[in-house]
Structure 1
Amino acid sequence: MNSLEQIPWALIAPILVVQFILMVVALIDLKRIHATNGPKWLWVILIIMGSLFGSIAYFIVGRRNV
């Protein structure tokens, strides 16, 4: 229990909030967009399992500009 008290939550909490918001926005955008680079099911897995980096990768690589 002492290890949880030593974590600097004031530094970690904003990162977790940004990660969650970015993940939700990426999933909503993936649902609305018609064409992606690669299958949508794979992007869902990458966004959820890849956390922050999966969402960023989706916005950089996954969206197809039509």
Structure 2
Amino acid sequence: MENLMQYIPLLIPVIALEFILMVTALVHVLRHPQYRFGNRVFWVIVVLFVQIIGPVVYFVAGRGEQ
């Protein structure tokens, strides 16, 4: 437990960044009807369950043209 406590200052910003990125991607998925591939349900699952990589993949590969 003591080893974990020394990493808390590093973990808090990483967790906050992951949460902000996930919420931003989720809001974008729910507001926009067009995607390059897949559908809304697919992207919601990817964004929610594939931690930090899921939202990044959505913004790079899944987001449709505006």
Q: TM-score, normalised by structure 2?
A: 0.88
Gap runs ≥5 in structure 2: none
Gap runs ≥5 in structure 1: none
Runs of 4+ residues deviating >2 angstroms: none
**Alpha-carbon separation, structure 2, partners of 1:51 and 1:40:** 17
3-state DSSP of counterpart to 1:6 = helix
Deviation of the 1:24 alpha carbon: 0.3
1:6 and 2:3 are equivalent in the alignment: yes
**Alpha-carbon separation, structure 1, partners of 2:46 and 2:31:** 17
% same residue:
32
Paired residue total: 63
Deviation of the 1:6 alpha carbon: 1.4
Check conservation: 2:25, 2:59, Cα contact below 8 A.
yes
Which residue of structure 2 aligns with residue 41 of structure 1?
41
For residues 2-59 of structure 1, give each alpha carbon's deviation from its aligned partner in whole angstroms, at most 9, with x where no partner exists: x2x3111001110000000000000000111110121111111111111110000000
1:56 and 2:45 are equivalent in the alignment: no
Letter in 1 for 2:13: P
